[in-house]
A and B are shown apart, each in its own frame.
Chain A
């Protein structure tokens, strides 16, 4: 569950503060030499980046049901594949979708909560082993969970014998496994943000008679909301894209996540299942992309405005 996203990068997307004075109109020849080639490269990159996505959208709208038919872009329009997606009991897409959302949301909520608790302890409390604890969190996180997938599978198989609800082929089981990765990079990220909030706020509340739990839940958690959103989003994206652990732990067809279900659908029969897969992919991508674009603004706003000044 390594997260290959850095929130700094999200922040960077904001426009730079400075504005350049309008340039005087340049001659056409100069435009070609200085800017024209940049536009050519820009167009080439946009085609490279966006074409596969356009292709999927087109394939999903193309009736006919094979890959060959999908090569004619936007030649015809039909929602046949979308209907197919929800009516074939052999590929319970709705169930996969719901499973992915449940697992993703619960895991990210759990990750945020566990991470915030730990970050609060590391940031506000002084205890022996604090520094060692922080360092070992970074160390542990270098080894993503998927490296131990064999051991995780066998552990869950063992738990299945005692607690079938928490073992193999169970959503609760896989959420528990994912929460094992809750501390680590996330805690470190939050720890940094917690440190930016002045301790004088805690002290004032303490003098006013608030206990530690009250300070944490009603004051600190609100002030660190932006970082909670970042961690929640990263964790949600990482969890919903996770394939290795999900494919080993989940087996029955109606318990799969989108990643596993769609992979099985399209890798078995690429040609005949592709248009239906494309429809599934479009529907699966919409919430993630929407969340990404929507929260990006929130995150940028939160990080730059700052809840505490």
Chain B
């Protein structure tokens, strides 16, 4: 490698001394990359423009401008090297943390997924009824750029077309093909054949084409793909009062500031919208003591799990390093290679392998080792905790074994010899010299291992999914749940996803991790100063 470099430099030295201008090739590559970035940015900006997302549009515009400035102006070298990584870091690492903080203060989740306008139209659309005695429209299902639509012929013979998003609009009679008194095709629209209609039955049944811009006027719906009737929503939204009225019962639902329509009596419409709710998510455990208690249990187990995992694997690893590193053992290399196998095995598979081994009815451990016993390794609260720890130690001890072995080897032999000369026995040498030195050199690794296990999602979730479930708690909380698996389950599992609460829980983890790292790094510095 060194020789290539020197050859290169002698060759260039002969050519010139002054700084050469950038070659055409480099310039071309640079411009090509910038062009791609700009094209993508311009496309994104135009999409954002149509959606009216001014804030994001502004951010994208400023970023694109900065990128162009950095790469087109001479100088600004650090910028040229740092910008690509920093953009990714800013969006997917820093921004998402800030965004988590924001979500934690909202009611974002199932039933509160979107804006108030979306919620209103969803409520109106989801609760329609056929209007008694309404006229029958003859229809043909068509497809256009806006999706599935209805080509409708009114009883008066007027031909109209519309989709879920675009209300019915009259068509120029010249652009329509008629079959008797029913329009069957129109320019710019593809007519659906019988078998297409059958295939897309559900879509067809759900299709509601508004009669006009005002949703209260009603919709056209078809059941048989030939005849359509006017449907009107049971719910009417009163824009002036901001209330939703159920016309069948004349119940009035109002927006009381909770991101949903509700009556004074506490009746709530299922579809709400997203609002900022303040510290409500953070107060939730206090207002629901059972969940609060469960959360405390989870937090305690998270700490216990992380500490025990690190401690047990460290001591097992250290014990093995001391035991198997005897130079007189000829086979120690074999033991070493075989016992670090779990470390080389992909970690996401390990828990799944153990899932089979520990299966209650059919697993190897119960069937063969315990003679067909039915020990609930993964479904009993305490045994499940034991199993998760066992698997995690299996995963973690080879790393500790390697680390301890290296650390022990790096301790100078003279220290041991001096102590032995002074009359110390083997245990005293270990206790007084080797162990403290070992701790100093491995402390940072132990701390990062703790931080890793504190959020060790894979082992727990893949083995037990956090279960068995705690009794008496309505939320899905299990006995082996870690805080991070609880975040995941709250946000992505079950029928009631609650992003707000999940984000609040993850903020809790942020605080714990930050505190632990701050304290422990100070501690390690103290350790290092001591020695």
A-to-B contact residues, CB < 8 Å: 2, 4-6, 8-13, 16, 20, 23, 34-35, 38-39, 41-43, 45-46, 48-50, 52-53, 55-56, 59, 66-68, 70-71, 114-115, 117-118, 120-121, 125, 127, 130, 133, 140, 142-155, 161-163, 176-177, 179-184, 187, 201, 204-213, 216, 218-219, 222-223, 237, 240-244, 247-248, 258-259, 262-263, 266-267, 270-271, 274, 277-278, 281, 284-285, 288-289, 292-293, 307-309
Contact = CB atoms under 8 A, between A and B. Distances in A.
B344 A288 contact: yes
B226 interface: no
Contacts of A218: 8
A59 B425 CA distance: 49
B99 to A, nearest CB: 4
A277 B362 CA distance: 15
Contacts of A219: 5, 8
Interface stretch (B138-146, B184-192, B331-339): B331-339
A12 B16 CA distance: 46
Contacts of B8: 218-219
B357 A55 contact: yes
A45 B339 CA distance: 6
A251 to B, nearest CB: 11
Interface in B488-513: 488, 491-492, 499, 502-503, 506, 509-510, 513
Contacts of B409: 12, 16
Most buried by B among A120, A145, A181, A263: A263
Nearest to A247: B492
B512 to A, nearest CB: 10
Contacts of B48: 162
B77 A125 contact: yes
B341 to A, nearest CB: 5
A285 B349 CA distance: 8
A155 B99 contact: yes
A184 B86 CA distance: 10
Contacts of A53: 341-342, 345, 353
A8 B445 CA distance: 11
B84 interface: yes
Interface of B: 1-2, 4-5, 8-9, 12-13, 15-20, 22, 26, 44, 47-48, 51, 77-78, 81-82, 84-86, 88-89, 91-97, 99-100, 103, 108, 320, 323-324, 326-329, 331-332, 335-336, 338-342, 344-350, 352-357, 359, 361-364, 367-368, 394, 397-399, 402-403, 405-406, 409, 445, 448-449, 451-452, 455, 457-458, 461-462, 465, 484, 487-488, 491-492, 499, 502-503, 506, 509-510, 513-514, 517
Given A38-B326, A71-B368, A208-B13, A142 B517 contact: yes
B30 to A, nearest CB: 9
Nearest to A40: B323
Contacts of A247: 492
A10 B399 CA distance: 9
Contact of B406 (A9, A42, A130, A270): A9
A153 B113 CA distance: 13
10 contacts: A11-B406, A38-B323, A56-B353, A71-B364, A117-B85, A142-B517, A143-B510, A146-B484, A180-B91, A281-B353
Contacts of A23: 328
Contacts of A208: 9, 12-13, 15, 17
A42 B85 contact: no
A266 B455 contact: no
Contact of A288 (B328, B346, B487): B346
A55 B326 CA distance: 30
Nearest to B378: A270
A148 B5 CA distance: 45
A65 to B, nearest CB: 12
Given A154-B499, A182-B89, A68 B362 contact: yes
Nearest to B398: A49
Contacts of A211: 19-20, 22
Contacts of A67: 356, 359, 362-363
A161 B116 CA distance: 18
Contact of B349 (A150, A270, A284): A284
A301 to B, nearest CB: 12
A270 B355 contact: yes
A205 B350 CA distance: 49
A274 B347 CA distance: 17
B88 A52 contact: no
Given A67-B363, A152-B92, A183-B86, A209 B16 contact: yes
B406 to A, nearest CB: 3
B84 A117 contact: yes
Contacts of B81: 117-118, 120-121, 125, 216
Given A149-B487, A242-B348, A281-B349, 17 more contacts: A8-B403, A9-B399, A39-B331, A50-B341, A120-B81, A143-B513, A143-B514, A147-B97, A183-B86, A204-B9, A208-B17, A243-B458, A244-B457, A258-B348, A263-B348, A278-B353, A288-B344
